[in-house]
Every structure is written in C-alpha cells, then in structure tokens.
Amino acid sequence: MCKNNGHNNSVKEIKRVAIIGAGAIGSYFIVGLSQKLGENLEVIAEGERKERLIKNGIVVNGERIPLNVKTPEQAAGADLLIVAVKYGALKEIIPMVEKIIDDHTIVMSPLNGVESEEIIGSKIGMEHMVFSIMKISSQRVDNKINYNPDITMGVFFGEKDGSVSERILAIQDLLEGSGVNYSICDDIERTIWYKYALNISRNIPQAIVNCEFGAYDTSEHVSYISKKMREEVVKVAAAKGIDISDENNPACSVASTSPKARFSTLQDLDAKRTTEIEMLSGALVRMGKELGIETPYNDFAYHTVKALEEKNSGKIS
C-alpha cells in the first residue's frame, strides 16, 4: 500500500470520466476512451457550444465522432475530470469544474505550460490534482483534428511526490487497453518543465519567423534563438529547484517530427486564432521578474507574438 501524502486517494476504480474541451487534447481522450466507457464518457459544455457539439460532434482523422454532451450539473460526481481547454479559457471554466467535482473526483489538466494545476487547484484544492502533460502530434482546423498515432506518445502523469498512489493505479487501469498511450512518471514536475522548455524553444521561434520545423537544423539563426530561449527556461526552473539542464534527456526529444511540421503557436497564427503565448513566454517572463531573473529573449518573443495576434485581428495593418 502507498502511504497517503495529502492526495485524494479514495478512488480505486474510475467508472465515469468527464472532459472539458474537445480540441486536440480532448479529442485524443474522447477517441481513446469512448469504446471502453461508452455513455460513461461525458463531454462537458453549456449553452450554444453544447448544442453545436451535440449537432456536429468532432471529426478526428477524417472520422466523425458523436459526443455524449452533458452540462456540468449532469456530470457532477465524475470519478475523473480531464481539463483540456486552451490556456486562455482556463480561468473561465473553473466554475464548471467546481460543479462537477465532489470529494473523490480526480482532476487532470494535461495542458502546455507549468501553471494549470495550480490555477485549478487554488480554487478546488490541490488534493484533487494529478499532475500531467500531453505529447501529441496534431493539427486542428475548425472542428477537424488530425493526429499522428505513430508518434503521439500520449499522456504523462504522476504524483508530485513521486509515489504510486491508489489513484495513479486507478488511472493506469482506466487507460490500459484503451486507445490512450500513457506513461507514469516518478518525477512529473521535472517532466512538465522539460516539456515547457521544449514548447518555448521549438514552438515560439518558428511562429515568429513563420517557418517549418526543419529550420531548426538548417538555419543557424533560428537555432540560436531557440537555444537562448531555452536557456532562460533552464535558469527559471533552477531557481525553483528543478534541473532541466540536460539537453540529452529523452524529454527533450522531438524525434520523428516531420521537417515540415508547424507547431501549435504557428498553427494558431495561421488560423488567426489567439495563441497560448501567455502560458509560454508570458508566464516565464512573469516568473523571471518574481525571481529576479532576466528573460530578454522570451520578453521579446512574447511581445512579438502579441503583435502578430494584433495584426491578425486587424488592430494593426
């Protein structure tokens, strides 16, 4: 038996799963868990969005997926809640989260960045949170999502203290035999920061330059910007007691990525959507100021991407 280290360990079997967000991450869980859970997999929405999801479903790799859409009130008491919204919508969906959870509910927010668990946990209690991230190769256009199952590693999760608790085993039992790839991490916080550094150093430079992934190998200048942005993440992480300096760590790998790949920030700019720059360079700049660490490359990148968003919206011509 694992000792209780302040976790909510009351769930020994996950029978009902609720998902908020049906984009790239949410759709991966929906497709992967739908056959195993059937009607016990619920996609949460309200108002016009609820009606739209019921009518249209989602399209994943060319196949239309019907959704079992419920309001937060109808999903109350779910065993596991997966929060898969974009960072910009995270705070506004907290009231939905509060309606769904009860004392035993586990909450996972496998979003990019390093803040989502604390943002949610500060409102509902950190004892509900299991730390997690996603590694998924995907592209979204409207309600159509395409992902490459061959190089999608899936969800990485674990307790912050590294223990294998009853709820970690319950999540493992849920995912085993489903279509969701997973890994249990004994140092999930470090893994999250490695992914954060990867997102910042590989997502943002190509979005600013408007280039394909292969430019990191073919352009010394794109590579230089990437390196400098990562170095700033390493410094901030070190100040928080997290060592992500090893660039040869498997968590740094982007193996099998197509040289033509356009990552999420560039996809958002292509589609004239709001990006997640606040969660990436924006958050790093804020943490740097709090810790007295200068982050000039990420500061510049943040304002550049925000300017590109303004250009897309017509605010600047």
Partners of residue 70 on adjacent β-strands: 44
- Write the pLDDT tens digit of every residue in 109-162: 999 899 999 999 999 999 999 999 998 877 777 778 888 887 788 999 999 999
CA dihedral 250, 251, 255, 260 (to 10 degrees): -160
Average pLDDT, the chain: 92
Query: Which pLDDT value is given to residue 6?
Result: 52
Q: Residue 182 contacts by C-beta under 8 Å, 6 or more apart in sequence?
A: 154, 155, 156, 157, 171, 172, 175
* Cα–Cα dist 143/145, whole Å: 6
- Write the pLDDT tens digit of every residue in 148-206: 887 788 999 999 999 999 999 999 999 999 999 999 999 999 999 999 999 999 999 99
Give the pLDDT band of residue 234 (cuts 50, 70, 90).
Answer: very high
Q: How many percent of the chain have pLDDT more than 90?
A: 81
The gap from C-alpha 270 to its chain's centroid, in whole angstroms, comes to 20
The gap from C-alpha 243 to its chain's centroid, in whole angstroms, comes to 21
- Write the pLDDT tens digit of every residue in 60-88: 998 999 999 999 999 999 999 999 998 88
- Write the pLDDT tens digit of every residue in 277-310: 999 999 999 999 999 999 999 999 999 999 999 9
Give the pLDDT band of residue 253 (cuts 50, 70, 90).
Answer: low
Residue 216 in contact with residue 222, Cβ under 8 Å? yes
Query: Which pLDDT value is given to residue 96?
Result: 97
Residue 78 in contact with residue 100, Cβ under 8 Å? yes
Find the helix or strand (DSSP H, E) in which 218 lies: helix 215-218
Q: Is the pLDDT confidence value at 44 over 70?
A: yes
Query: Which pLDDT value is given to residue 317?
Result: 85
